[in-house]
Every structure is written in structure tokens, then in C-alpha cells.
Amino acid sequence: MISMMLFPLWATLTIIISCVVALIVAIVLIVPINIWFRALASGAHVSMFRLIGMKMRKVDYKKLVNIYIVSQKAGLKIPIAELETHLMAGGDIEKVVDALIAAHSAKMDLTLEQAKAIDLAGRDVVEAVKTSVTPKVIRTNWIEAMAKNGIQVKAIAQVTVRARLDRQIGTADTETILARVGEGIVTAIGKANTHTEILADPSIISKTILADHLDRQTAYEILSIDVCDVDVGANLGAKLKIEEAEAKKKISQAAAEERRAQAVALEQENKAKTQEMQAVVLAAESEVHRAMATAMKNGKFGIMDYYKLQNLTADTNMRNSIGNAKDKKSDRSGRSDDNR
């Protein structure tokens, strides 16, 4: 009787013990005990249920807990839920925590929301904090411009900038600052009357650039702009004048060639007209001879009249020949007098 009563009790205890063992095994399999114990020992407690939830959401819980431990050791009161949310959003929680630790050590005002926003905006939040504490120097390439006297001047500038944490989102980067500085160098050199003014006082460039507030709408604040190298280039003014003179020469040659072609065309036209007039004269002479033949045939023009006309023509030709000879002689005598 007693044995029959003890059997159900023993069976019940066995079932209870089995369930407890199964529960422990399930917890060991589901809950990362080592991660939970490490966080507990480090003073950054994380509940088992949160670890189970992280594992089910396929979050890199090992990395997350390790960074959470680092933040708690550094004295940052960051909820682990905030880090998990940022990690799931595609952010870099390691850089966010490092930036917050650096800002906390430097006694800078950087909140968790600002750090996460800067990181999600695509900027290096750690580099931003470091540059805010220790300014960095960026350097331009050779910038070439021409002074008013036509001489080319080349310059290199070093720009010392400091990051502004409150202007990291939606603002321009260092490339914009370098572009604006290059534009300012070109403007400053272009305003100089001679290149010697820039060579004698390169600070003219720095003063001109700093007066324009080139760091507006950028993530940085310009602390100083220093011209570290200046050189003289080509004489662009003389080169431009030479090119202009060469262009004018070509234009003049083209115009002269056009006038020559027009003169040749006019000469050919005059020759054609002369030949045409000669043809007209020959036609008229043929008409004269035809008229004379008709008159002689009709008895209105005799043979003696024809001889008189021939004599008159010969006399006229002789007089013309004598006149031409006198003109040539007078021209020769005039030339000899001029030579004397």
C-alpha cells in the first residue's frame, strides 16, 4: 500500500526534474550565457530576454554588448536599446560610441542623437570630433591667375579648418572650401595692378579670401589661410597681344588677296571690253570700205578721191609719229635733268 502511494510521488518528482533540466538546456541553447555573464561582470547588465530578442532579430549581439560595455565603462549612460536601433538602421555604433567618448573626454557638447544623425548622414563622426578638438590643414593645388599687367602668378595656400559639430548635416565638405579658396586666390591676383604686388606681400591674397567668409554653409570653420608658395608664370598679356597682332595680319592678308582678285577680275573684264570695242571698230572699218566700194561702183567716189584720202591718212599718221617722238624726247630730257 505504501509502495503504491510512493510511486506517483516519485514519478511526479522525476517529471518535474526532467522539465527543469530541459528548461535549463533550452536556456543554455537559446541564451548566450557567456555574453550575459560578461555584461553582468562588467557592470553593464543586459537581461536574458533582450539577448534572446536580439538573437531572434538576427542582430550582431556580441558586437552590440561589447560596445555597450565599453560605453558604460567610459561613463556614458547610453541605453542598449538606442544602440540596437542605430545598428539595425545601418549605422556604425562603434564610431558613434568612440565619438561620444572622445567628446566626453574633451568636455564637448555632443549628444547621442547628434552623433547618430551625423553617422547616418554619411560623415565620419569620429573624424568630426577629432577635427573639432584638433584643427586640420588642407592644401590647395597650384592656382594660376593673371595680374592686371598681364603677368601670370601661381600660388599655393594652406587652409586650417576646425569641424563644427552643429553643422555636420546638410552642409558642404572640404572640397567646397578648397574650391572657394581657389576662386578667392584668382580674384585677389586679378585685382593686383602688377605681379610684384603679390610677390612683395602674399598676405594680400589671405586678407581678400578671409573677408569673404568662405566657410559659410560648410561643416567647417576656417581658422586661417596662409599662402605658402608663390611663383611667376608666363607673360600672358604679351602672348595675347602677339596672337591679336597675328590675327590682324591674317585678316589684312585676306583683305589684300581679295582686292588683288578683284583687280585681276576687273583687268580681265576690261580686256574683254577692249576686244569687244576692237571688234566694233573693225566692223565699222569694214562698213567704211564697203561704202567706199559702193560709192566707187556708183560713180560717186572717183579714183583720185581715193588717192587724196590715202595721202591725208598717211600725212596724219606721219604727224602722229612726229608728235610721239617729240614727247619721248622731252620725257628723256626731263629725266636727265632730274638725275642731274
Domain-terminating residue out of 90, 113, 133: 133
CB 219 within 8 A of CB 172: yes
For residues 98 and 38, membership in a common domain is answered with yes
- Classify residue 71: in a domain, yes or no: yes
For residues 106 and 142, membership in a common domain is answered with no
Q: Give the domain range for residue 83.
A: 23-133
Domain-terminating residue out of 90, 118, 133: 133
Digit-by-digit pLDDT tens for the chain (340 residues) are 444 444 566 667 677 776 766 665 555 555 667 788 888 888 888 888 888 888 888 888 889 999 999 999 888 889 999 999 999 999 999 999 999 999 988 888 889 999 999 999 888 999 999 998 889 999 999 998 888 888 888 999 999 999 998 888 888 888 999 999 999 999 988 888 888 888 888 888 888 888 888 888 899 999 989 998 888 877 666 677 777 778 888 888 888 888 888 888 888 888 888 888 887 777 776 776 677 677 777 766 666 766 676 777 777 777 777 776 666 666 665 555 555 5
| DSSP letters for 33-102 | HHHHHHHHHTT----HHHHHHHHHTT--HHHHHHHHHHHHHTT----HHHHHHHHHTT--HHHHHHHHHH
- Classify residue 122: in a domain, yes or no: yes
For residues 110 and 156, membership in a common domain is answered with no
Domain-terminating residue out of 206, 238, 270: 238
Name the residue among 85, 167, 45 with its Cα closest to residue 118: 167
Burial of 281 (0-12, 13-18, 19+ CB in 10 A): exposed
For residues 62 and 158, membership in a common domain is answered with no
- Classify residue 279: in a domain, yes or no: no
For residues 126 and 215, membership in a common domain is answered with no
For residues 29 and 126, membership in a common domain is answered with yes
For residues 43 and 110, membership in a common domain is answered with yes
For residues 152 and 167, membership in a common domain is answered with yes
- Number of domains within the chain: 2
For residues 115 and 165, membership in a common domain is answered with no
